[in-house]
Structures are given as C-alpha cells and as structure tokens.
Chains A and B, each alone.
Chain A
Amino acid sequence: MDKFTQLTAIAAPMPNENIDTDQIIPARFLKTILRTGLGKNAFAAQRYDGNGAERPEFVLNQEPYRHAEILITLDNFGCGSSREHAPWALLDFGIRCVIAPSFADIFHNNCFKNGILPIRLPREICEMLMDDARQGSNSRLTVDLEKQVIIRPDGETVSFDVDPFRRHLLLEGLDDIGQTMAHDDAINTFEHQASRAWVPSITMETTK
C-alpha cells in the first residue's frame, strides 16, 4: 500500500447524496481477479453513453477534473455493496482522498486498506470546498494528513479528525495483517478456551 502523507491536487465536486458502490463500479466489471485496471470503468454509467462515448456533462469527463485526485461529495458516500472494487476503481482512476459529510461504514473501512484517505467534514464545509473546486484549473486543495488539515486555494485551512491508528497505518503505508500476526499467541489462547468447545469444525468430507 502506498503511503499517504501530503497531497496537493485537483478536486472534483460531486454534489449528490447516497452515491452507492454500484455507481462507483457497476457489478458487470467485478469479474476480474486483479485489483488493478478498474479505473477506466469507474462511474461507468454516468461517464459513458450506451456506445461507450464519454458524456461531456459528467464531471470526471471535464477539464481539469479528469485529472482529479480528490473527490468532494455529499452524505452516505459508498453505500450499498461491500465491493472493495469501489476503492480500487477510484484509486486506479487516480483518486487518493474523498471528502464527504458521511460515509457508509464498509466503504470507509475499505478506503484505509488501499491508501485512500476518507475525510468527514460538516456539509457546509464540503459545499465550501466544492465551491473552491469549481474555481477552475488553477484551483488546488492540499490535504496534509500529518497536520490533519486541508489547505484551501486562498491559503485558509480546515482541520479534520482521523482515527489515530488508521492515520498511523496510512502515514507509514503499513498493511495490518503483519501487525495482527504479531498477536498470534493471544489468538491461539483465545481459540482453545473451554467455553468454545461447542463450536463445530467444518471439514472437507462433510461438505461433499
């Protein structure tokens, strides 16, 4: 996983609520066994018409937003399916940070596992940042995870909260499996408690 420290980039405004993971990457594109290559189909239904041509009205088909690395949107972003293909598609498109008033839980979690920083901010601030993003091609936002601030194009700052453990993993680019494996003894002890004796094992023979 790539580290996330500081990002200065174009931000694309998507002023809709409840953008679900089926919109971010429709199910027909989930038939891959890879994590990469999904960016071309991110937001496919809004981005392309029935013949595969770009719809000029869609924000990510417009300059400068086709180079956006930040998305700013409204409530409950990433609701619906748990598909991690959604953050994979965003990442493959180039998105490293999503700013919204609220996120669906599973999507929020999946972002951190892929080096994407989801930032929760009150709706009026999201709308203010969307206005910043609409100022044209010289308008850039800076997201500084170390300092937990967003620097607006006029130099003003907006601070944000982030879970300290997740912040640490993002700043260092660490995956958490190795960290959990360091607690192997505790897991072993837990598994062998007498109170868990009723939990049946599932064996190959029995599923035939």
Chain B
Amino acid sequence: MQVSNSPRTLFDKIWDDHIVERLEDGTCILYIDRHLVHEVTSPQAFEGLRLAGRPVRRPDATVAVVDHNVPTSDRSKPIEEPESRLQIETLERNVAEFGVPYFPLLSASQGIVHVVGPEQGISLPGMTIVCGDSHTSTHGAMGSLAFGIGTSEVEHVLATQTLLQRPAKNMRVFVEGKTGVGVTAKDIMLAIIGRIGTAGGTGHVIEFAGSAIRDLDMAGRMTLCNMSIEAGARAGLVSPDETTFSYVKGRPFAPKGEAFEQACAYWRTLASDDGAHFDTEVTLRAEDIVPSITWGNSPQDVLPVDGIIPSPADFKDPAQAAQVQRALDYMGLEAGQKIAGTPVDVVFIGSCTNSRIEDLRSAADIVRGRHVAPNVRAMIVPGSGLVKREAEAEGLDKIFLDAGFEWREAGCSMCLGMNPDRLTPGQRCASTSNRNFEGRQGPGGRTHLCSPAMAAAAAVTGVLCDVRELIREPV
C-alpha cells in the first residue's frame, strides 16, 4: 500500500507492501510472510491458542526448530536436563497438534533458527519475517524486514499472521572503502556499535550500505544484521543484490523456475530510491576499522585489539563512571592495561552471529597446523547440521580436532548457556557470539566478543591477541 510517490527507502517499500490495513491512529496491521518458532518462546503462545480455541492461521508460513535448549554432545542419548526435555517435547506436541512444519532434533537440517532460515531458502528478500527471538534481525541480510517479538506477539502471529505495528524510523550506516587484512563483518559491526552505542538504533531500522557492505558475502551480511539489535535497532537490512539472488537460487524452499524469475524482478525494485529520506545517517571508513574485541558487559564496550582498557576516571558522568568500575570488577580487568595479552580459559566459536561455513573456514585458516594452548577449552559449534556436514566434507573438522578443539552438534550452546554448555564463575571466554552481558554465558562468566578468526587466535595463543600476527602469507 504505497501512500505517496516520494522516494522511499528499502524499509519503506517492504513496509508499504505488507500493510493490510492502516488504523485511525496510524498503527498498521502488518502482514507476516514467515514466522519462525523455537522451543523457548513458543509454549505459552501455543497454550494461549489452545485456551482460546484458535488454530494456527498459516501453518504453511510457519516453521519450527529446536535450538536454544538442545545438547551439542551425543544426540543418541536422551536429553538429561528434565526442563529442557520438557520444552522440546512441548514444541513437538504443539507442532503435531497445530500442523506446523518442523525440523526435529535428529534431522540433518536442524540448527540455529537464524542459520536454518536463510540456508533453507525459507527467509527470502522482500519478506516480513518474525521469530520470538531478538536475533531475528539476522534475516535482514536477505533484504527482508526481520525482527524479534515477544511471546504474546508470537501468539498474535500464529492466530492472525499479522502484527500491530507502527513504522520505524530510517537509519543508514555507510561503510565505504576496503577493509584491511584480518578485519571481518564482526569487526565492522562492533565498530558500528562502538560508534552509535547500544541504544543508538532505538526506534530505527538500520540499512547497511556502502562499498564495504556490498563486498561482504551473505554470511558477513548476516553477522552484521544479527547484531543490529545490539545497537538497539528494530531491524537491520542490506539491499538485495546479485550476491543475494545467487545465494537464494536453488535453496530447498526458495521459489523455482518462473516463480524465481518473478520474485527476482520484484526484489530488484526494492533498493532505496535516490533521494529517499533517512532520519539518521552514519558513515564509517572501512580503512579505519581494525580487529576488535569487547572489554566490558555491553556490546558498546568495544576496543581495537591494540587498545587500552578504559578507566572510570575517563568518564565525567558519575553513573557512567560507576558502570565502568562495575564492569571492570565483574570482568576482572584493570583500567589502563592493554586488552591484548589477557589470558582466556574458554574459546567459543558458534552462535547465530558466527557459526556459518564461512566463519568456520576463517577460524580454520588460523588454527591449521597449530594447537590449542594448554588450559584452554576450545569448542566449535556449527550453526546447523548442514554446516557441520559441509565443514566435514572440507576436512575442517579434522583441522579443529587435531588442534584440540571440541567439534560439536548444532545449537545455540554457550551463546546463552541454556543447555549444559556454560562458563563457570570467573572463567574468561573469547566468544564469537553477540552479548557480553553479566552472566550471559553462565553465572559469573566473563565474555569477550570477537570474530571467529580472533577467537581462533585466542585459542592457539591462550590470550586475547591480534589475529593479524597469526595470518600467514598466502602461498
């Protein structure tokens, strides 16, 4: 429902094309094309439907998968934690009762919902995509409007295939130029969050643009959009282009033949128009971005890898100074010291941010021919069964296993520690996940966010370090 002929952004176009009805006060009934469901945020929603005697309106636009709670060890054994088991069994009962398509735990395609969606061609450009999970923003890499919702809204979508929404503001983040050696999409995103802050995107949808973004592959774009929520944004977007279309083509649930051509023709119309209005614009030079790592308990607490840990004295606002002191205490770090050289206990390579085949390849490039440092536990948790299989076909599993890494089954794992993969109090972890909040990876655990290559470098040296010192000259 296009309301005017003025130039529109990518977000405006997807939004307009999904308005079912605009209510008097400006609230829109927004149609949802894809609803992804997992075991943690859906039980109460299905229970709500059951109590009201409502069906799932569009089971054929809904897909369920188990990921948050699942063990990443031997899957032939029953799930030990009774509450985790109950949540998984509850999802299985619900999908059977309501007729929702489902990737079961033992399916080769099971994995993290935000890895599975794009990989299967379920998440497509131009769509509206929701899931009861804040990292739904990942799917914005496809050029779709994708955002996380609460369980009440999960129920609303199950019942009506729509949401009541008000339009977001438009923000555009340009990253222009060529990134240097060892700089990944993760470093670009950490730099963006460091610049605008964890509330910088509040109320906005961020479109990532510029030559450095165009140069990213789909996995990189997913990493970027994934952490849009860490900048407070409602969603992140990358304009769909030839990189997107060739990624989509041939995926199991993508349109085929003539339908694919029709879809591509539509997708090509979605790019932001020249002169479209953005409420906020931010520009970064790709050349200024270096391998980065977080030091504190907010993703905005980011440092270049050669940076110095800040001091409360650097902050005028007493509340902020107190917060920095609290983070230093929690993280067991000393102000004024270099972040590089800090010893780690655990390295976690995985999560919906960085568990795709490209991420594993980039970690393997660093690990090849090296060994995990003594006293470091290092684990690789592929994002899906298919990623795992592909990595094994390429021999990456052997590189990791020979180096002393654990090679595990797909799931959310130590990103949030709902399954047995958790830090113990005081343990320090270089992690490719998305949140360094207090206790996120286990009570008392200390998280440093970084790219897969940086995490791999920490694994083999035993300390947070500059991956560029470990990159070999190409032969």
Write the chain B residue with the least CB distance to A176.
B164
B294 sits at the interface (CB 8 A)? no
In this assembly, does B127 line the interface, its C-beta being within 8 Å of a C-beta of chain A?
yes
Which residues of A sit under 8 angstroms from B124, Cβ to Cβ? Answer: 199
B354 at interface (Cβ–Cβ under 8 A)? no
In the bound complex, do residue A31 and residue B83 qualify as a contact, i.e. CB atoms below 8 Å apart? yes
> Which residues does chain B contribute within 8 Å of A105, judged by CB atoms?
202-203, 232, 234
Knowing A33-B44, A81-B134, A198-B255, say if A17 contacts B101 (CB, 8 Å): no
CB pair B253–A202 under 8 Å, yes or no, is: yes
Choose one: A17, A20, A176; the contact of B437 (CB below 8 Å).
A20
Judge whether B439 and A22 touch: CB under 8 Å.
Answer: yes
**B residues within 8 A CB of A53?**
none
Chain A residues with CB under 8 Å of B439's CB are 22-23, 26, 45
Partner of B159, one of A31, A83, A114, A177: A177
Interface size grouping (class) on chain B: 35 or more
- The answer to whether B435 touches A200 (Cβ under 8 A) is no
Is A28 part of the contact surface with B, judged by Cβ < 8 Å?
Answer: yes
B33 interface hit (Cβ, 8 Å):
yes
Q: List 9 A-B contacts (CB under 8 A).
A: A20-B435, A23-B437, A23-B438, A76-B202, A80-B134, A165-B25, A198-B263, A199-B33, A199-B255
Known pairs A31-B418, A176-B156; A198 contacts B437 (CB<8 A)? no
Q: Is B417 an interface residue (CB 8 A)?
A: yes
Cβ of B394 within 8 Å of any chain A Cβ, yes or no, is no
A17 touches B320 (CB 8 A): yes
Q: Place the interface of chain A in its size category.
A: 35 or more
B47 contacts which chain A residues (CB < 8 A)? 33
Question: With an 8 A cutoff between CB atoms, is B90 at the interface?
Answer: yes
Tell me whether B254 is interfacial, beta carbon within 8 Å: yes
Asked if A84 lies at the interface with its beta carbon under 8 angstroms from chain B, I say yes
In the complex, whether B132 has a CB less than 8 A from a CB of chain A is yes
> Given A27-B440, A197-B262, do A83 and B41 touch, yes or no (CB 8 Å)?
yes
The stretch of A62-70, A131-139, A153-161, A182-190 in contact with B is A182-190
Q: Who on chain A is nearest to B442 by CB?
A: A28
Q: How far does the alpha carbon of A99 sit from the alpha carbon of B37 in the complex, in Å?
A: 31
A-side contacts of B43, CB under 8 Å: 32-33
CA distance A48 to B410 in the complex (A): 33
> Which one of B166, B198, B319, B440 contacts A76 once the chains associate, using CB atoms below 8 Å?
B198
Residues on the A chain within 8 Å of B298, using CB: 18
A191 proximal to B (CB < 8 A): yes
Indicate if the CB atoms of A26 and B134 lie closer than 8 Å.
Answer: no
Choose among A50, A79, A104, A195 the residue that contacts B425 (Cβ–Cβ < 8 A): A50
Smallest Cβ-Cβ distance to A164: which chain B residue: B25
Enumerate A49-84 residues with CB–CB distance to B below 8 Å. 50, 74-76, 79-84
- Chain A residue contacts of B147, Cβ below 8 A: 106
Known contacts A33-B47, A80-B437, A176-B156: A183-B29 contact under CB 8 Å? yes
Type the 1/0 row for A165-187, where 1 means its CB is closer than 8 Å to any CB of B.
Answer: 10000000001110011011011
Instruction: Check if A206 sits within 8 Å of B319, measured CB to CB.
Output: no
Taking the closest CB of chain A, its distance from the CB of B82, in whole angstroms, is 9
What CA separation (Å) do A201 and B232 show in the bound complex? 32
Nearest chain B CB to A7 CB, angstrom units: 21
Contact in complex: A35, B320 (CB < 8 Å): no
Residue of A nearest to B17 (CB): A195
| A201 CB to nearest B CB, Å | 4
Contact (Cβ within 8 A) A79 B232 = yes
- Alpha-carbon gap, A123 to B187, bound state (A): 32
* In the complex, residue of chain B having the shortest beta-carbon distance to the beta carbon of A26: B439
Cβ of B202: which chain A residues have Cβ within 8 Å of it? 76, 102, 104-105
> CB within 8 Å of B: which of A113-170?
113-114, 163-165
Collect the chain A residues with CB atoms within 8 Å of residue B207's CB.
none
